[in-house]
Structure 1
């Protein structure tokens, strides 16, 4: 947590009490602000340098889903040096917000000129899902960002359950390929994405589906889906982020076949014929 001096005094902390908490390490000075012991050292160090965390650094601070990235992303004042290891996002005369770390709305606006548009969409989906961003704020952001990012943000949704799901869903939507998220299919259960009429796309995170029981369960579901006329593609975190070029090619090949547009029952009849 981060606090201003005014906030601490508003909580009836005296100046002496604040100094005592700092001396004990319960609070840490972070430039003109105070940080709790649990606050990320990256954020504290940036504030000590007179910089304002934004983009991916601010997103992690707020607990949003974040695509892979490196460096500490900051906004600064013109006379404040930005280390080479940091990612600078420009300069400001007066920071536009009360708290020193960019809000979800502001960090998304900054990310629009730093990240791939699909990665900006991941941040927007996460902020909407967590209730940290409202549709009215998103409307304002759409009017201030480059067109490729605006196309993504127009399709932002609070329904996504992971960053991998957001990225793949947006990939299909930007190509006008029919896709629905979190669809309940009788006899199969809820699936991450249903593309067209019969193509199930499941997004396996690094934390799930890795054990033997999970592997067996997933394959059993895939078999049930196939019997009902669906086919399944499973994408891992690495395939969506580390091997995205190869994954796009694979997805494009499947959509080019148009097999996803065939109704499941029609596919079953064709197999019986």
Structure 2
């Protein structure tokens, strides 16, 4: 496999990763959502449009990130990002050493599909809480389901000795799968099209997720992301929107959280 060079990564020299459980109420309020439509998904602090509870923020000085776009990523060694891209027609596996260190978060993988509309980032995320990256104790696999899939996954790694956060944009070629190992820094909201996701369905394991929204240090607003090869981010052929004629989006979110709580309480009773 090829090695990454300094030209393949974007280095952020000044950043603060603030976990959600360490985010003070006044600081959380300063990153709230003002957009009228996006508020249907959030509470008064603008933080409830995340799949995971209690998200944090990644505070950086940049207002816009231009990430290097990695051509033919399956030819590169991504192990320093705790990730790899593997062909679907060959056997593959997760890093068993990492898995054994985080057995508490490993459960049977559940396969679901995600459809990312080509307007998702611009029309929703950038008007809402913003683009996010995260790391978690459970493993994950991401597979494009057809040739029209596009966009990219953000991968990150911290270089502690240099106080540096390095990011890279990685497309997933059709016929391949991106393996996200334990505690890999990644963000998949910049994909477009239909993808298969394999990850835990256990809500306790999902709560190990440390998700952060990208925010500018000086304006507190959302940080935008583009790549050096935007023409590779194909438009999705479909626009899908989850709606209900009987309930608001906020009510749907409340119902979802209520169901999660019942599931967790039920599991506790069984023990």
TM-score by length of 1: 0.23
Structure holding more strand per residue? 2
Structure holding more helix per residue? 1
Tell me which of the two structures has the higher relative contact order, counting C-alpha pairs closer than 8 angstroms and 6 or more residues apart.
Answer: 2
TM-score by length of 2: 0.23
